[in-house]
Structure 1
Amino acid sequence: MVKYHEWLYQPLKPKPLAGKTILITRAAGQSSQFRQLLEHQGAEVVEVPTLVITPPASWEPLDQAIAQIGTYNWLILTSANAVEFFFQRLHAHNLDSRSLHHLKIAVVGRKTGELLSIQGLIPDLIPSDFIADSLVARFPECVNSRILFPRVQSGGREVLITELEQKGAKVDAVPAYESGCPQDIDEIALRSLQTHQIDILTFASSKTVRNFHQLISKALPDEWDQLLDSVQIASIGTQTSIACRELLGRVDIEAQEFTLEGLAQAIVNTCN
C-alpha cells in the first residue's frame, strides 16, 4: 500500500493533450463547450471564428408558418441555432411550447435535444448517430403529413427535404437564421498557423471547412496549403470529412460519434 506522503509526491500523470495546440473553427461565441473539453485534456486552444450567425433576411416565411402552427404534424430541428431562433420567434408572437403540444418533434444531435428540453419538450425522434441523413431512415409513415423545418437560409443540404417528400410528406423548409463567413481570418489564429504553432485543426461542420478555406486562401493565397502540411486535420463526421478532402486534401482524424464529445475523444485517442 502506498503511504499518504509517498502518494503526495508521486508525479502527476500528464494529460493526453498536454503540449498540443489545437485550433477550433466554430461560430463566434459558440466554441466554449468544445474549448473546455480540449483544455480539460491539457490542450492549448486557439479559436478562429469561421461562421457568423445572424437572423434571416426576412422573418416573413417563419412568421407565416408559426401563424399556421396548428396545421403541422411534425417539427424538425437539426441544429442548436434552429432551436434558438425558432423559439425566439415563437416567443415574439407571444407563444410558447404549449402551442406545440399537438406536434411530434424530431431533432438531430444531443445538443439540439438538450436545448429543446430547456423549452420543456422532449423529442419524439432523434437518430442515434446524430446526422440528418439518418432521420429519414427512422422517420415513421408520413404520407400526407405536414412538416415544418426551420433551418439555415443558405447552404443547407436538400437531401432531408427531398427524401421526406418522396415518402409523401409536405415539407415547409423556412429560413430561421443565416450562417455567413467573416470578412477576414482572425489575426492571432493566422499568426499561429504561419509560425507552425498549431498541431491539430478541427472542424465541426462542412460549412466551417468551406469558410476556413475561403478565409485562409484569401489571406495567404500562395502558401496556405503548405502551412497545413504539418497540421493534423480533425473532422466531426462523414459530411465534414468529405468537405475536408475536397478543399483541404485530407482528413487525419474522424470522430466515431458525430458530436463535440466524440471529436474530442477521437483527438485524445490519436494523441495517446
Structure 2
Amino acid sequence: MKHLMQKEVDKMKPVVVMTDSEKTQTDDVEVVHIPLIGIEKLPVQSDYLHRHYDWLILTSKNAVEIFFDNYSDVTFDRLAVIGTKTRKSLEAKGLTADFMPSVFDQETFIAEAGSRFDGCSCCLPVSVKARPPLHRFLAARGQVDRIELYRPVASQSAALRIHDMIVDGEVDALTFMSPSAVDAYFKHYQPVVIPVVAIGPVTKAALDRYRQPCVMPETATKEQMIAKITEMREWNEF
C-alpha cells in the first residue's frame, strides 16, 4: 500500500525535462534528463603549455575538467570563476576561487571586477562558442590568452525525443541552461506551449530570438529553476 501511495504522489509531481549534461537530484519534481549538447574536446595547444598567469578565469564545469586534464603545467597566482558549479568543481580539486560575481554571467563579472584585472596577464579557457564580452574586457586592461578547449555538439536525436514527449503530453516544463541548447532544439522545432525556464538572461535572450515565452529564476542555479517551476505549479500557472 505504501508503495502504491508513493507512486500516486510521484504522478502529481510536474515532469521537467533538464537539457544540460549534469544529472539533477531533487524530490520536488520528476526530472527527465535529456542533454541537448555534448562536447568535443579540442587538441591541446602546445603554445600555452608551461606559461604563468596572474589570473586563471574559468566559466564552466567543463572548462575546469578539461583545462586541468590538458593544461596542468600552466601556473597562475589567482583564480576567478563564474557560477557555483564551476566553483564547486574547483573545490573538488582543492582550489579556492579568489573572485566570483554575484550573478553568474559575463556582464556581472565585468561590472563587479573593479580594477583587479588591470595590467594583469589572464588565461581564459573556454568553449569555441563562448561569447566575447569577457575576453574583450580583459584584453582592454591587460594581456589575455583565450584557449579554446572544446566545442559544443548538438544532439538532434535528443531534440526529437523532447519534441515527441511534448507532443504526447508527457512534459510539464522544459529548461534551458545555455544558448547552444536553445539553438539545438528550436532550429528544428517551433515554440512550445508548456512553461519554459531559462537559467539566466543570456539564455532567455536566445529563447526570445525564437519567440519562445519563458521565465527566469531570481538566481541562476538549477535549484532555483526547480523552485520557480514548483511555484508556478502551486499558482496553477500550468
CA–CA distance in structure 1, aligned partners of residues 156 and 167 of structure 2 = 19
What amino acid maps onto 2:100 in structure 1?
A: I
Residue matched to 1:55: 41
Partner SS, residue 12 of structure 2? coil
Q: Contact 1:203 / 1:234 at 8 angstroms: preserved in 2?
A: yes
When the two structures are superposed, what TM-score results if normalisation uses the length of structure 2?
Answer: 0.86
Residue matched to 1:85: 66
**CA-atom RMSD in angstroms:** 2.3
Partner SS, residue 269 of structure 1? helix
Structure 1 position 21 matched with structure 2 position 15: yes
| Cα deviation, residue 179, structure 1 | 1.1
**Equivalences for 1:148-167 in 2 at 5 Å?**
148-153=123-128, 155-166=129-140
Q: Contact 2:173 / 2:196 at 8 angstroms: preserved in 1?
A: yes
What amino acid maps onto 1:238 in structure 2?
A: P
Structure 1 position 245 matched with structure 2 position 208: yes
Residue matched to 2:122: 147
1:270 paired residue among 214, 229, 232: 232
When the two structures are superposed, what TM-score results if normalisation uses the length of structure 1?
Answer: 0.76
Residue matched to 1:136: 110
Structure 1 position 256 matched with structure 2 position 236: no
| Cα deviation, residue 16, structure 1 | 10
What amino acid maps onto 1:67 in structure 2?
A: H
CA–CA distance in structure 1, aligned partners of residues 136 and 36 of structure 2 = 28
| Cα deviation, residue 188, structure 1 | 4.1
Deviation track 1:135-191 (CA, whole Å, cap 9, x = no partner) reads: 1222234333110000002x211001112222x211111111221112433554332
Which is richer in strand? 2
Residue matched to 1:172: 145
Deviation track 1:251-270 (CA, whole Å, cap 9, x = no partner) reads: 1x211001111211111222
Structure 1 unmatched runs, 5+: 1-10, 218-223
Q: Contact 1:46 / 1:189 at 8 angstroms: preserved in 2?
A: no
Instruction: Calculate percent identity across the aligned residue pairs.
Output: 24
CA–CA distance in structure 2, aligned partners of residues 118 and 46 of structure 1 = 26
CA 45–118 in structure 1, closer or farther in 2 if over 3 Å, else same: closer
Q: Contact 2:58 / 2:82 at 8 angstroms: preserved in 1?
A: yes
What amino acid maps onto 2:213 in structure 1?
A: R
Q: How many residues get paired? A: 228
**Equivalences for 1:98-247 in 2 at 5 Å?**
100=75, 102-139=76-113, 140-153=115-128, 155-166=129-140, 168-185=141-158, 188-214=161-187, 216-217=188-189, 224-225=190-191, 228-229=192-193, 231-247=194-210
Structure 1 position 73 matched with structure 2 position 66: no
Structure ID, larger Rg: 1
